[in-house]
Amino acid sequence: MGGDKGDVHASASQSRGTQLATASRGTEKMDEAKSLKDHGEGDDISDGPIKKRGCTDIWCCGVFAVHWAGFAMVIFIGMATGNPEKLYAPRDFKGDYCGVAENWNSDSNLESMAKLIHMMNLTEFVDSPAKTFVCSSAAEDELRKADVLTGPQLSNYMCACCKSPCARCSGVLGLDDFVTPESASNAVSGKLADITDSSRAGFMFSASGANGGSFNGVFGQAKQFFYQVCVTDCSVASNNYTAGGVREYT
- 12 and 31 share a domain? yes
Q: Is the pLDDT of residue 104 over 90?
A: no
Q: Which residue, 135, 239, 129, 240, is CA-closest to 195?
A: 129
Shared-domain flag, residues 82 and 67:
yes
pLDDT at residue 66 tops 90: yes
C-alpha separations of 116 from 168, 234, 236 in Å: 36, 7, 10
pLDDT mean across residues, the chain: 77
What are residue 227's DSSP bridge partners?
119
Residue 32: per-residue pLDDT: 60
* Range 61-73 burial, b when 16+ CB lie within 10 A, else e: eeeeeeeeeeeee
pLDDT tens for residues 169-205?
A: 887 888 888 888 888 888 888 888 887 777 777 777 7
pLDDT band at 233 (very low <50, low <70, confident <90, very high): confident
Same domain, 202 and 214: yes
| 183 and 218 together in one domain | yes
Write the secondary structure of the chain as one string of H (helix), E (strand) and C (coil): CHHHHHHHHHHHHHHHHHHHHHHHHHHHHHHHHHHHHHCCCCCCCCCCCCCCCCCCCCHHHHHHHHHHHHHHHHHHHHHHHCCHHHHCCCECCCCCECCCCCECCECCCCCCCCEEEEEECHHHHHHHHHHHHHCCHHHHHHHHHHCCCCHHHHHHHHHHCCCCCCCCCCCCCCCCCCCCHHHHHHHHHHHHHHHHCHHHHHHHCCCCCCCCCCCCCHHHHHHHHEEEEEECCCCHHHHCCCCCCCCCCC
Q: Which residues contact 225 (CB under 8 A, 6 or more apart)?
A: 120, 121, 124, 125, 215, 218
Are residues 131 and 208 located together in one domain of the fold?
yes
181 against 242, higher pLDDT: 181
Q: Domain range holding 23?
A: 1-53
Residue 70 and residue 179 share a domain: no
Q: Which range among 18-27, 121-130, 211-220 shows the weakest confidence by mean pLDDT?
A: 18-27
Q: Does 71 lie in the same domain as 29?
A: no
In a domain, 21, yes or no: yes
What's residue 73's pLDDT?
Answer: 94
Residue 97 lies in a domain: no
Q: Is residue 48 part of a domain?
A: yes
**Looking at the domain assignment, is residue 60 inside a domain?**
yes
Sorting pLDDT into bands at 50, 70 and 90, what band is 72?
Answer: very high
CA separation, residue 117 to residues 93, 105, 171, 221, 242 (Å): 11, 21, 37, 16, 19
To the question of pTM greater than 0.75 for the whole model, the response is: no
Residues paired with 97 in a beta bridge: 91
**Whether residues 71 and 33 fall in one domain:** no
Reported as a single tens digit per residue, the pLDDT across 167-176 is: 888 878 888 8
Is residue 156 domain-resident?
no
Q: Over the stretch 1-47, which tens digit does the pLDDT of each residue have?
A: 444 544 544 554 555 555 555 655 656 666 665 555 555 455 666 66
Is 222 within a domain? yes
35 & 80 share domain: no
Is residue 162 in a domain? no
Determine the pLDDT at residue 48.
67
Q: Do residues 42 and 132 both lie within one domain?
A: no
In a domain, 80, yes or no: yes
170 compared with 71, residue with greater pLDDT: 71
Query: Whole-angstrom Cα distance, residue 175 to residue 171?
Result: 12
Is 124 found in the same domain as 223?
Answer: yes
Kindly state whether residues 129 and 201 are assigned to the same domain: yes
Identify the pLDDT of residue 5: 46
CB count in 10 Å sphere of residue 28 = 10
pLDDT over 80 (residue 239)? no
Say how many domains are in the chain. Answer: 3
